[in-house]
Copies of this chain bind each other. A is one copy, B any other.
Amino acid sequence: MGSSPWTLDKSLLFLGTFVHSKTREELEFLHDAAVAVDKQGQIVGVKAGCGSVTAAKEQLLEALGLREEDVEVCSCGEGQFFFPGFIDTHVHAPQYPNVGIFGKSTLLDWLQKYTFPLEASLKDLDKARRVYAACVRRTLAHGTTTAAYFATIDVAATNLLADLCLALGQRALIGRVCMDAPGINPDYYRDESAEASLRATRETVEHVRRVDDGRGIVSPILTPRFAPSCSSELMTGLASMQRELDLPVQTHISELADDVKLATSLFPLAGSYAKIYDDHGLLTPRTILAHAVRLTDGEATLLAARQAKVAHCPCSNGCLTSGKARVRWLWDCGIDVGLGTDMSGGFSPSVLDAARQAALASRFVAMDLVGDACERSKLTVEEVLYLATVGGAHVVGLGGGLGRFEVGMQWDAQLIGLNVVPRNDGLDDGDKASLTRDAGNVDLFGWETWEDIMAKWLYNGDDRNTKRVWVRGRLVHSRP
């Protein structure tokens, strides 16, 4: 790997304020701190609490036996801090052009009317390249350093998505969508048979592993679309492939009432949506289940027992009127939860926006409750930022390597910068300039606490505040 573009020319040294989740309920602020990253993109040293950033830098360099000329230094400016990269645990890359287009529909007609025709059309590789490049660039610009992608049924287009993620530098799980059942899947867009689906899937798994070449940037994920779109034979075959090739799995579960009804009527012996997957061997510690809006207590207990994970997609659940997922309850049941943009069920490419909407959605859950239960169901700023980073890392199976600024973790990170409102009367031209340059919507007046600053970023931040993005130490996005 010496000549790989994923090996850096120099080690990196980051200086300033670092913010990450200490626990689910608490953010940790490392001020005047230094973080060192080796040429493989791994964090090798963290130093804080030395009284000044210069002291932190000097002590860290000394501890690591490095000289200043051995490292490339990157420092925070005023109103800036480092934050872990976001993890999008559920997103459909081919649907990117449809973001915002869902009309008044709910899941099942939305699939037929908007989704399947667009996905099918991406067998045109020129179109796929244009759509996928736009999607990957856009999500990187929003600080998404890792994404779990559903592609389409097409092998060549799915392989192309992996190639593009690698070229553009986004860590990604790449899933060729498996869907062989007639009925819900239209004739113009489905796998010919379970066997054909499994064969095509194996091709993409091999391609993704080959192009990644051990770098850990792109990796394959088995992707049965959702139970109603798959035959028993296909699901059993995927479970067997999962064990044989040691792969993660992603699918949908219990999105809205009609969806639950459809799934349980197609698999009447299972008795519940979760049990369908479990009966086919697909509920594993490496399984990501999107939505989980309407799980029963019994299903939640089953998911927890299997250590399966949930991708919470608040934007999509709102747009498609799917229902109110109960994150606090999922946590209480012992289930790991991350956030998904679920484009284009959800309209936003931003995991920060998903975090914001998770906070709002939890308040709609709270409105149905009273007293302590009402208060408890509201998610805090700290909790939704945990979902966006550490929570997501656990969901995609990278909890040991992503989500915090800690020795041994990867430098998948973003530099956040907020606007500082000038101290003059606000009527001169210099002040006006801050609205037209790329400063974003978060206005700091200077009297805010760090807790306030994080809340202001969560609620009004956007991609303009994401000044730089790194994956495995490699700078993959920057703006002036």
A residues neighboring B (CB under 8 Å):
96-97, 99-104, 126, 129-134, 137-138, 141, 164, 167-168, 318-319, 321, 323-324, 347-349, 360, 363-364, 366-367, 374-375, 378, 380, 421, 423-427, 431-432, 435-436, 438, 441-443, 445, 447-448, 452, 455-460, 462-463, 477-480
B426 and A459: CB pair below 8 A?
Answer: no
Q: List 27 A-B contacts (CB under 8 A).
A: A97-B445, A99-B456, A102-B455, A103-B455, A129-B427, A130-B445, A132-B426, A133-B426, A134-B421, A134-B443, A134-B445, A137-B435, A138-B441, A141-B436, A321-B363, A321-B366, A321-B378, A323-B367, A324-B364, A324-B367, A347-B459, A349-B460, A435-B463, A436-B478, A436-B479, A441-B462, A462-B462
A104 and B375: CB pair below 8 A?
Answer: yes
Copies held by the complex: 2
Complexed CA–CA distance, A124 and B452 (Å): 22
Instruction: Name A104's contact: one of B133, B364, B378 (CB within 8 Å).
Output: B378
A136's nearest neighbour on chain B, judged by CB, is B426
Instruction: Name A319's contact: one of B97, B319, B360, B460 (CB within 8 Å).
Output: B360
B436 and A100: CB pair below 8 A?
Answer: no
A447's nearest neighbour on chain B, judged by CB, is B97
A350's nearest neighbour on chain B, judged by CB, is B441
A452's nearest neighbour on chain B, judged by CB, is B101
A293's nearest neighbour on chain B, judged by CB, is B367
Complexed CA–CA distance, A425 and B323 (Å): 38
Complexed CA–CA distance, A457 and B99 (Å): 10
**Taking the nearest CB of chain B, how far is it from the CB of A195, in angstroms?**
34
A100's nearest neighbour on chain B, judged by CB, is B459
B348 and A460: CB pair below 8 A?
Answer: yes
Q: Which 3 A-B pairs have the closest CB atoms?
A: A133-B426, A100-B459, A347-B459
Q: A133-B431, A167-B427 are in contact. Are A456 and B321 (CB under 8 A)?
A: no
B441 and A133: CB pair below 8 A?
Answer: no
**Taking the nearest CB of chain B, how far is it from the CB of A95, in angstroms?**
12
Complexed CA–CA distance, A367 and B319 (Å): 11
Which residues from B are CB-within-8-Å of A423? 130
B134 and A426: CB pair below 8 A?
Answer: yes
Complexed CA–CA distance, A441 and B142 (Å): 10
The residue in A348, A360, A456 that gathers the most chain B C-beta atoms within 10 A of its C-beta is A360
B441 and A349: CB pair below 8 A?
Answer: yes
Which residues from B are CB-within-8-Å of A457? 100
Which residues from B are CB-within-8-Å of A460? 99-100, 347-349
**Taking the nearest CB of chain B, how far is it from the CB of A159, in angstroms?**
15
Instruction: Name A101's contact: one of B167, B318, B425, B455 (CB within 8 Å).
Output: B455
The residue in A141, A375, A421 that gathers the most chain B C-beta atoms within 10 A of its C-beta is A421
Instruction: Name A432's contact: one of B137, B164, B448 (CB within 8 Å).
Output: B137
Question: A102-B455, A436-B438 provided; 6 other pairs, C-beta below 8 A?
Answer: A100-B455, A133-B427, A137-B431, A318-B360, A318-B364, A436-B479
Complexed CA–CA distance, A438 and B132 (Å): 21
Which residues from B are CB-within-8-Å of A97? 443, 445, 447-448
Complexed CA–CA distance, A479 and B168 (Å): 29
Which residues from B are CB-within-8-Å of A426? 129-130, 132-134, 137
A432's nearest neighbour on chain B, judged by CB, is B137
A463's nearest neighbour on chain B, judged by CB, is B441
A462's nearest neighbour on chain B, judged by CB, is B462
Which residues from B are CB-within-8-Å of A100? 442, 455-460
Complexed CA–CA distance, A131 and B26 (Å): 30
Instruction: Name A425's contact: one of B130, B360, B443, B458 (CB within 8 Å).
Output: B130
Which residues from B are CB-within-8-Å of A441? 138, 349, 462-463
Instruction: Name A99's contact: one of B96, B459, B477 (CB within 8 Å).
Output: B459
Q: A129-B425, A137-B426, A138-B435 are in contact. Are A104 and B380 (CB under 8 A)?
A: yes
Complexed CA–CA distance, A445 and B129 (Å): 12
Instruction: Name A456's contact: one of B101, B138, B360, B478 (CB within 8 Å).
Output: B101
**Taking the nearest CB of chain B, how far is it from the CB of A478, in angstroms?**
8
Which residues from B are CB-within-8-Å of A96? 443
A479's nearest neighbour on chain B, judged by CB, is B436
Complexed CA–CA distance, A425 and B157 (Å): 13
Complexed CA–CA distance, A443 and B363 (Å): 31
Complexed CA–CA distance, A133 and B103 (Å): 38
Complexed CA–CA distance, A427 and B165 (Å): 11
